Structure 1
Amino acid sequence: MYIYYGIIIFIFGTIIGSFLNVCIYRIPMQESIVYPSSHCTNCGNRIKWYDLIPIVSYVILRGKCRNCGEKISKKYPIVEFITGLLYLMLYIKFGISIDIVKYVVFISILIVIGIIDFDTTDIYFKTTIVGLISAFVFLGIYYYNGLPIRTYIYGGIAGGGLLVLIILITKGGMGWGDAEICLICGLFLGLKFTFVMLFLSFIIGAIIGVILILSGKKSKKDYIPFGPFITAASVITVFCGQNILSWYL
């Protein structure tokens, strides 16, 4: 039964990953994520349902559009697989509970924000507002069930507040969108895990930044989006935050 649920959750994750791909592509284009239905960006033909099966359709079609032969980005099956894998890992860690629902929503939002920021260096308010609303919905659920929510409110203040402070001190060294992401992360993670997330964000960012500069792909003057680092750090914190804290203490 445990394996059966795991398989279902993985498949469900890949389906959600397919929808996240739509959001990642259309939001920067200022297009609706609902209409029109999925279509080839090259020939414009509507994609049949049997060509929309996550991962499987990409393999069968060999990464090309059935109608015009245009190559399909490998990013699509990768996002689907990673989403499915993360959902499965959440199930293994939290089981069937309110926590798995919360972190499924949280990680899904982060995937969209992180990849869009990586692709465009922009963070869109329509994505962060969904994160904020979702965070407050879960805080309401926690409060209704008598669970403490103070740590999550403090986490949001600490995460967003620290980034705002950095922005003001550096006079734009980081973007306001980064502060919005950290506010959302704090509301989902709580105070102590927010500090873990922030610490990991700067560590990952510093390592990747140095690698990019040494490899010549970026110069010291180039802007490097911070959203993907926050996303990676938050995912690590969800799964390993307590272990990291225990090791540190």
Structure 2
Amino acid sequence: MIGPFLDVFLIAAGPFIGSFITASSRAWPDWRQIALGRSACSECGHRLRPWELIPVVSFFLQKGKCRKCGAPIWPLHPVGEIVALIIPLIAVLAFDGGWTLAASLFGWVLLFGALVDLRTFLLPDVVTLGLVPPGLALAFLSGGPGGFLEHLLAALLGFATLAGIAWLYRRLRGREGLGMGDAKLLAAGGAWAGPFALAWSVAIGAGVTLFIVSIAQLLGSKTEAETPVPLGPGLAAGCYLAYCLPSLVQTTAG
């Protein structure tokens, strides 16, 4: 009986959780501001009223600007809120009960890391390394010791793969091309989704990254060979989809 109520709650809460995640990603690494800060304009300090905090709707009603000082609101705010709604929608379609909650939390944490990476080109360890233990714990609950070892191997393999590519690129080109945060993120994806999902995580991540770059170019952003492009957002999407898609396909087929 709790399943349908949980599904509705997660979907209804998604945009509001996305609003908090987006604001928190802008405040990171100031954890005090994240925990204690109230919603306010980052430019003039104007405390936002309830009608200014409606996910997505308030952004467009205010034309993407603060009502008091006219400063532009971070354009990724409504994007984060929409993605935070899509995350539980996918989870509800793919899983049941507590697994739906786990998948939603996994996606929301990944969203926070992705938004931080877009802003700072850094993936917080609290996201990447923090996701590994719960992923392994869920693997143990669903597959016992064998499942735990399989997902542990996937985490180690995921980290070693991207860390090795980063080392090779640095040796050949003499500069950084791939951060260790990406390697840690793929380790988290392996811990959650297992070894067979690693290739899908990377493939989807690369595709999403190319899509983001293409959209940025269409909007007028100039990208060259030396322009840094964060892989984290695409890889986060790849890890989440690689975790959910097998169950989604199985549910749909059934």
Smaller-chain TM-score range? Answer: 0.7 to 0.9
Q: CA deviation at 1:99?
A: 2.3
Structure 1 residues without counterparts, runs of 5 or longer: 245-249
Structure 1 match to 2:243: 238
Return the alpha-carbon distance in structure 2 between the equivalents of residues 50 and 216 of structure 1: 33
Check 1:156–1:146 CA distance in 2 against 1; reply closer, same or farther (3 A cut).
closer
Structure 2 match to 1:75: 76
Q: CA deviation at 1:64?
A: 3.2
Return the alpha-carbon distance in structure 2 between the equivalents of residues 232 and 199 of structure 1: 10
Check 1:169–1:42 CA distance in 2 against 1; reply closer, same or farther (3 A cut).
same
Return the alpha-carbon distance in structure 2 between the equivalents of residues 12 and 81 of structure 1: 11
Return the alpha-carbon distance in structure 2 between the equivalents of residues 224 and 44 of structure 1: 31
Q: CA deviation at 1:212?
A: 7.6
Taking structure 1 as the reference length, the TM-score comes to 0.80
Q: Is the 8 A contact 1:39 1:45 kept in 2?
A: yes
Check 1:67–1:135 CA distance in 2 against 1; reply closer, same or farther (3 A cut).
same
Q: CA deviation at 1:208?
A: 6.3
Kindly provide the amino acid, as one letter, of the partner of residue 109 in structure 1: V
Taking structure 2 as the reference length, the TM-score comes to 0.78
Comparing 220-229 and 157-166, the one that deviates more? 220-229
Q: Percent identity?
A: 21
Kindly provide the amino acid, as one letter, of the partner of residue 227 in structure 1: G
Return the alpha-carbon distance in structure 2 between the equivalents of residues 186 and 240 of structure 1: 14
Structure 2 residue 124 is the aligned partner of structure 1 residue 159 = no
Check 1:135–1:6 CA distance in 2 against 1; reply closer, same or farther (3 A cut).
closer
Structure 1 match to 2:105: 105
Q: Is the 8 A contact 2:155 2:190 kept in 1?
A: yes
Structure 2 match to 1:227: 232
Return the alpha-carbon distance in structure 2 between the equivalents of residues 127 and 52 of structure 1: 26
The correspondence of residues 22-37 of structure 1 with structure 2, limited to 5 A, is 22-28=23-29, 32-37=33-38
Q: Is the 8 A contact 1:64 1:70 kept in 2?
A: yes
Q: Is the 8 A contact 2:7 2:100 kept in 1?
A: no
The correspondence of residues 35-54 of structure 1 with structure 2, limited to 5 A, is 35-54=36-55
Comparing 27-36 and 169-178, the one that deviates more? 27-36
